[in-house]
Amino acid sequence: MPLGILEDRHLEHVPGTSPLSTLGRVDLEVSAGVDSNLLKHDPSGKTVLVPQPSESPNDPYNWPRWKKELFTVAIAYGCGCVGAVGPLLTSAFVPLAQEFDVPLERFTLGCNGAMIAAISGGSLICNTLAVKFGKRPIYLLTSIGLFATNFWAAEAKSFGSLVAARTLGGFCMAPMEALVPASIADIWFVHERGISYRDI
């Protein structure tokens, strides 16, 4: 394998990967004793759907294309908005440090450093909670929390209050930083990922 990666001597397929099968291409067909006619295919009938969708209309893999695209746009927009929350205050650091009578270095570490630390810790916690309770409640609760902490930070009267608001806000930003790839993987088939959705 390239880059010095060793071949797995024990398993045919690396765990966590999905081999793609395309009918009519011998080099891509999986012949592990599975009748490909029993598997679900895309509308063209050539590509085996990975993962296999259920029969439920509530399964996100069975959503109509417009709903999948709308979800993708909404979650990408939310991810972009959350990505802007952290650096948005940066241009006002000097006057805010003077207003709170705090050295600029301490102000920067307090506002951005605490937020980044909270995002990193929150990513681990929110990923775990999302596995246990689902992504939807985590997204909802942290969105409400981020909304509240932004208003709290805007009305903060002390440096400690501002840092606390930014820290809790960082924790609430974590799902939009960490859960988005898994959310996208929950609605798009493997053969639809990583390409422009308008090219499909």
Residue-wise pLDDT for 110-163, tens only, equals 999 999 999 999 999 999 999 999 999 999 999 999 999 999 999 999 999 999
DSSP string, 119-163: HHHHHHHHHHHHHHH-HHHHHHHHHHHHHHHHHHHHT--SHHHHH
Is pLDDT above 70 for 173?
yes
When the pLDDT of each residue in the chain is averaged and rounded to a whole number, the result is 83
Write down the pLDDT at residue 196.
56
Range with the lowest mean pLDDT among 72-76, 87-91, 111-115, 120-124?
Answer: 87-91
Q: Quick one: how many helices (H) and strands (E) in the chain?
A: 7, 0
* Between residues 200 and 162, the one the model is more confident about: 162
Write down the pLDDT at residue 48.
76
Exposed e or buried b per residue across 64-94, where buried means at least 16 C-beta atoms within 10 angstroms of its C-beta = eeeebeebbeebeebbeebeebbeebeeeee
Is pLDDT above 50 for 53?
yes
**Comparing C-alpha atoms, which of 106, 121, 103, 21 is closest to residue 129?**
121
Is pLDDT above 50 for 27?
no
**Comparing C-alpha atoms, which of 41, 3, 43, 8 is closest to residue 22?**
41
**DSSP label at residue 177:** H
> For the residues 160-181, what does the mean pLDDT come to?
95
Write down the pLDDT at residue 28.
46
Write down the pLDDT at residue 26.
47
Q: Where are the alpha helices (DSSP H) in 18-113?
A: 65-88, 93-99, 104-108
Is pLDDT above 60 for 186?
yes
What's the Cα-to-Cα distance from 78 to each of 38, 67, 119, 200, rounded to whole Å? 39, 16, 16, 24
For the stretch 195-200, contacts whose Cβ atoms lie closer than 8 Å and that sit 24 or more positions apart, written own/partner, are: 197/69, 197/72
Q: Is 139:175 a contact under the CB 8 Å cutoff?
A: yes
* Between residues 59 and 2, the one the model is more confident about: 59
Write down the pLDDT at residue 193.
73
Is pLDDT above 50 for 65?
yes
